[in-house]
Structure 1
C-alpha cells in the first residue's frame, strides 16, 4: 500500500486492540479497490480526547470496540435510529466534521441470515442471551422482519427483562422473556423455528461447551451462532447433524465489516477479498 499526503485514515479504537482483525481485513479491501485509505489500531483509554482527535485529524471513519461502544455515544453529533435503540455504537462516519454513529453488529447478523436464505417473516425466534450482541441482533432482526414472536432467554433476568421491554415498545409483534433454565429452554425450543445464540458459550478456549442440548434441536429449524472462534462451534455441529440450517458467526463478522467499508467509502465491499483475509486470520 502506497501512503502519501492524500491518504485518508480509518482506525479501530478500544482497549485492548492488539487482537483486532479489522486492520488486516479493511486494508486488504482498500487495496483491492485501489482506494487511498489506510486502517490502523489505536489503544484508547481516555475516550473524550480520542473522539476529539477524530475531528481534529480528519479521520474518515472509526470502528469502536470494547469498552467504548456505549460511552462513545455521548460524544457524537448524530446516532442512527437503530443504534440509538440498541444503545451502543461500533461504527463512526466522519461526514465533513460531523460524527455519525451506527451499529453494524445487528446489520451484519441480519445480512448473514438473508445471504443464507433464511426467511424470518412469520417465524418464531428464540434469542439466547441479553448482552450487547443480543440487543444489536434482536433489534435489527425485529425491525427488518415481521416475526410471529421473539422469545428471549438469559441467565441474567434483569437485563433480559429490560431488553424485552425495550423491544416490546418498538416492535409490532409479541416479545417474551424467561430466565434460562433447562425447563424454559426445552419449552421454548419446542415451539421455535429459529435459534439465535448470542452468548460467549462455546468460544475458544472452551469449544466443547454449548447451551443447547442436541436432543432439543430438530430438522427444519435454523441455528445462528454469533461465536466465530472456533469457526464451527459445537452448537452448529450438532445442529447440522440434527438437520438444521446453520449460519456461523464468521458470516456476521464479515458482513459487519462490509457495512463499515460501504459506510466509509460509498462503494460495494469486495467480499471475496475480505472473506479470504478473515478465513486466513482465523485459521
Structure 2
C-alpha cells in the first residue's frame, strides 16, 4: 500500500485526508493519505523522513510552501516562477514539486461563472497562496492586481514581481479598507478567519458599497466572518471549497494519472462541512 499525506502547521483542520482517502477507495487504489504536523524549524528533517519512508506523494500547506523548495530535487517551471509548492511526487526517491493552487482557484471562479479578465483585482496577503493565485490571474489579462498585507514589505515585493506581467501596486491594510470599492474582485488569501480563529478578519469592510466579487480561500468554516460581512454588504461571495477541490483534483492526477470526479469530491466535503454549498448562503 502506498502512503500519501499533507504536511503543515497547523494541520488538524485539513479535510485533505477525507477527500483523498475517499478517492483512493472509489478508484480501487491501494493507498492511504495521512496528515503530518511539522514543527517550525523541522521541515528539513521531515523531508528526509519522507524520503526514508518512501512516501509516494504529499501536499504542502502553510507555512512551508516556499520553505520546501530548496529541499526538493526538481521544481515545475510554474511553481518555480511562483516561488511556492503545494504538491510533491516522489519518484524513485526524487522529489518533484508542483503548484496547483492558482489553477485550482481559477477553476473555482469558473464554476461560479466569474472571470478576472479585465478586472481590477485586490489580493489580501502576500504568502504562497497569494503568489500562486496572482500569477495565475495575471495570465487572464486583468486590468491590474494590487496587494495588501500586514507586512507592506512583502506586498511590495510581490507587486514588483507581478508588475512584470500586469500593472500592480502595494497597499497598506488601511489604504485597502479606504479604497475597497475600486476593485471588482477581492481575494482573501491569509489564514485570518480559519477555524479555530474564525472570528478574525484580515481587514474591515465598513466602506464596502459597490457590488463586487469577494473570495476567501478558507473553506473551514465555509463562510468566514469576512465573507459573511461582505455578503451582508451586497457582495457576491465565493468560499475556498472550490479552490480546495480543484487543487486537490490536480494533485491526485499528478500522483495517479487519474483526473477524479470533482462533483463527488464536492458532495463529500459539503456534507463534512455542514451540508451547504456556496450558493446556499
- Which range, TM-score by smaller chain? 0.7 to 0.9
Partners of 2:194 and 2:52 lie apart in 1 by: 38
Partner of residue 25, structure 1: 19
Q: Is the 8 A contact 1:129 1:160 kept in 2?
A: yes
Partners of 1:127 and 1:229 lie apart in 2 by: 20
Q: Unaligned stretches of 5+ in structure 1?
A: 1-6
Partner of residue 238, structure 2: 247
- Per the TM alignment, residue 118 of structure 1 is displaced from its structure 2 partner at its CA by 0.8
Q: 1:268 to 1:217 in 2, by over 3 A?
A: farther
Q: Out of 105, 120, 124, which is 2:116 matched to? A: 120
Paired residue secondary structure (2:96): strand
Q: 1:276 to 1:55 in 2, by over 3 A?
A: same
Equivalent residues in 2 for 1:174-193 (5 A)?
174-181=167-174, 183-187=175-179, 189-193=180-184
Q: Out of 152, 162, 165, which is 1:157 matched to? A: 152
Query: Greater RCO between the two (CA within 8 Å, min separation 6)?
Result: 1
Q: Out of 271, 278, 282, which is 2:269 matched to? A: 278
The superposition leaves residues 157-196 of structure 1 with CA deviations (integer Å, 9 ceiling, x where unpaired) of 1111111112223x1x211112121x54323x23211111
Partners of 2:98 and 2:133 lie apart in 1 by: 13
Paired residue secondary structure (2:141): coil
- Per the TM alignment, residue 123 of structure 1 is displaced from its structure 2 partner at its CA by 1.1
Q: Is the 8 A contact 1:210 1:234 kept in 2?
A: no
Partner of residue 66, structure 2: 70
Partner of residue 108, structure 1: 104
Q: Out of 219, 225, 245, which is 2:216 matched to? A: 225
Equivalent residues in 2 for 1:210-221 (5 A)?
211-219=203-211, 221=212
Q: Unaligned stretches of 5+ in structure 2?
A: 275-281
- Per the TM alignment, residue 124 of structure 1 is displaced from its structure 2 partner at its CA by 0.9
Larger displacement relative to structure 2 (42-51 or 192-201):
42-51
Partners of 2:272 and 2:231 lie apart in 1 by: 24
Partners of 1:191 and 1:91 lie apart in 2 by: 34
Partner of residue 278, structure 2: none
The superposition leaves residues 50-104 of structure 1 with CA deviations (integer Å, 9 ceiling, x where unpaired) of 4345445443211123443333211212111222222221210123443210122
Partners of 2:20 and 2:28 lie apart in 1 by: 12
Paired residue secondary structure (1:126): strand
Paired residue secondary structure (1:218): coil
Partners of 2:53 and 2:198 lie apart in 1 by: 41
Paired residue secondary structure (2:116): coil
Partner of residue 148, structure 1: 143
Partner of residue 94, structure 2: 98
Partners of 1:162 and 1:10 lie apart in 2 by: 34
Q: Is the 8 A contact 2:84 2:131 kept in 1?
A: no
Q: For this pair of structures, how many residues does the alignment match? A: 271
